[in-house]
Amino acid sequence: MHTATPPLSDRLKPRMSAWLLLALAPVAMADGSPWYLRGGLSWVTSSHEHLTDEHCANHSPPALFGCSLGSDGRPIGAYGRLDDALGWDLGVGYRLSPIWRLELGYERVADRSFSGDANFLSVPGAQPVTGDLDTGLLLAQVVADIDVGWERVVPWVAVGAGWARHEMDRMTYGFPGLAPGAVTVTADGERDQFAWRAAVGVGLRVDPRFTVDLSWSYTDLGWMGTEAGAATIVRARGTRTLEIDGTEAAIRNQAVRLGMRYQF
């Protein structure tokens, strides 16, 4: 990694969030408690992302892409998408009434690969771009159960907001048209971002304690990106380093989730 190691407190935040949720579980042990535990697995997909400069006109350090149009007529950048991935979540909930619930949960989606193409000017052939992303999300949400008169099936809607941390690995820009092995490798980066979500789902009551949830959600996770720092530039004539500014891309996820609730 090319950036400085983040403070220990920052690196422990996602792990502390998950352990906090586990620690809250014993308060819900009384019979008939409004508390419940929830967990699940999600299949996460994203729309296409455009990786661009934080400040395209910056000169100190210089922007990687700049403010010009690229070889295809679009602003210079990296155009691609994050791979679909499996995520997991763990949380606690509290039933306020027969309709309203509050939930606090931690989610993680790891090892998502970004793959795309850049459009730098005067570069022949393909310009593949690759990198990896890990995202942790601490989210509070309000859930409304909808009484439609079915005994075991209960539709619900939810909205929520929280805090996301994106950990982006170094991005590799390949230029095989220039020379075999010609690449530019940027610094990595971490971003703390405000996030919000809207979701719809349905709960199937298996018995008085267990409910199976199936849902769809849209989540705005803010911006992922790399930090300003040293980029390694490998060309036929040799290798050098150059300080460049950071890059960023908006990240918006859709997910289908299968989960379980256990009512104490």
Q: What would the mean pLDDT of 85-99 be, rounded to a whole number?
A: 97
Please name the CATH architecture into which domain 35-263 falls. Answer: Beta Barrel (2.40)
Give the per-residue pLDDT at 30. 43
Which residues on neighbouring strands pair with residue 88, listed in sequence order?
41, 108
pLDDT bucket at 13, cuts 50 / 70 / 90:
low
Name the average pLDDT for the chain. Answer: 90
Q: Which long-range contacts (CB under 8 A, 24 or more apart) does 93-97 make?
A: 93/35, 93/36, 93/37, 93/38, 93/143, 93/261, 94/34, 94/35, 94/36, 95/34, 95/35, 95/36, 95/263, 96/34
Give the per-residue pLDDT at 28. 40
Give the per-residue pLDDT at 1. 38
User: Are the beta carbons of 129 and 114 closer than 8 angstroms?
Assistant: yes
The pLDDT of residue 11 is above 90? no
For residue range 239-248, list pLDDT tens digits in order.
999 999 999 9
Give the per-residue pLDDT at 16. 52
Q: Which residue shows structure tokens 């296409």?
A: 48
Give the per-residue pLDDT at 179. 94
For residue range 50-75, list pLDDT tens digits in order.
999 999 999 999 999 999 999 999 99
CA-wise closest residue to 221 among 79, 82, 18: 82
Give the per-residue pLDDT at 139. 98
Q: What does the domain layout of the chain look like in residue ranges?
A: 35-263
For residue range 149-183, list pLDDT tens digits in order.
898 999 999 999 999 999 999 999 999 999 999 99
